[in-house]
Amino acid sequence: MIEADAALRAARAGWDIPPGATAALVNVSENLTYRIDAGDSRRFLRVHRPGYHTRAGIGSELDWLAALGADTALSVPAAIAGRNGARVQSGLGRHLTLFEGLPGRHVAPGEPMVPMFERLGAATAHLHVHARGWRRPDGFERFAWDEAAVFGPSPTWGDWRDAPNVTPGIRALLERVEGTVRTRLRAYGTRPDRYGLIHADLRLANVLVEGVRLHLIDFDDCGFGWFAYDFAAAVSFIEDDPALPALRDAWLAGYRTVAPMPPEDAAMLGTFVMLRRLALLAWIGSHAEATEPQALAPRFAAETARLGARYLESAIFGPEDAA
């Protein structure tokens, strides 16, 4: 772990940080994120995980953020260029980026989520509309969140089979689930109206609420994937919530106020929920140093197996999975 004082010194080396600023570690995931406060100023320093994204890949994320900020009414983080004009700096043996803070708060436990998911569906559709029409800069480089990324020989987050508490029985069931997911993904295909640039991690932890407005943060995992996958990311870690059918319906209703989501695409939402869940199971196994995986690890494999059994019965959303 990198101490907050060391992170603040690295930030000062690359950017003009006001005197008297303080730094505090606020998140450990793929990266280390530090909040830097100085008076009324709040910024966020991202210390990138070694070997996860290239410098060009990080720059591509920032290119999309800049375009979203310029071309849409969406509220997304603005990257701050360093004193040398570069948005990506180096320090602590890693890539560093600095973002302006956004207003708003995280969703509180127990807060009604259906209205928020309707707004999130609309915001996600705006992202997708922009992605479909945006001419990406030459050299644009981001991950793909496709079948190979989760199930291939070198999966991005590792093999779900290596996660904690994947017993022989759980493995056998999830092997069947993986096979069904693969079959349905291949049949669905990657036509441009179904597959493109997505956020890929638009879960509640990456949404700030300010009244009725949503601020979308943490585009670190943005990349190429199925547009409907962004719903699966939105319900990460709450896939077994009894409210899931209502959340799906609200998300779809909001999405369809902005862009089409044909029935054949909506019918794939359960498959993307399962694809994402298996990716998260692998993520827990490969990120044992982070607090969130540590808390989830004891029960996550068994809960994933229960969700997988429902998926094989076409019942992730209840007795009737049509959308």
Structure confidence at residue 102 (pLDDT): 97
Residue stretches of the chain with pLDDT short of 50:
none
Structure confidence at residue 316 (pLDDT): 93
Task: Give the model confidence (pLDDT) of 157-198 as tens digits.
Answer: 999 999 999 999 999 999 999 999 999 999 999 999 999 999
Structure confidence at residue 1 (pLDDT): 84
Structure tokens at 231: 């719903």
Could you tell me what percentage of the chain is helix, strand and coil, using 3-state DSSP and rounding each to the nearest 5?
Answer: 45, 15, 40
Strands (E), the chain: 22-28, 32-38, 41-47, 89-91, 94-100, 195-198, 207-210, 213-216, 223-226
Structure confidence at residue 193 (pLDDT): 97
Structural domains in the chain? 4-100 (3.30.200.20), 114-312 (3.90.1200.10)
| Residue 83 near residue 15, CB atoms below 8 Å | yes
Structure confidence at residue 320 (pLDDT): 54
| Amino acid sitting at position 56 | A
Structure confidence at residue 291 (pLDDT): 83
Structure tokens at 15: 């950017």
Structure confidence at residue 3 (pLDDT): 97
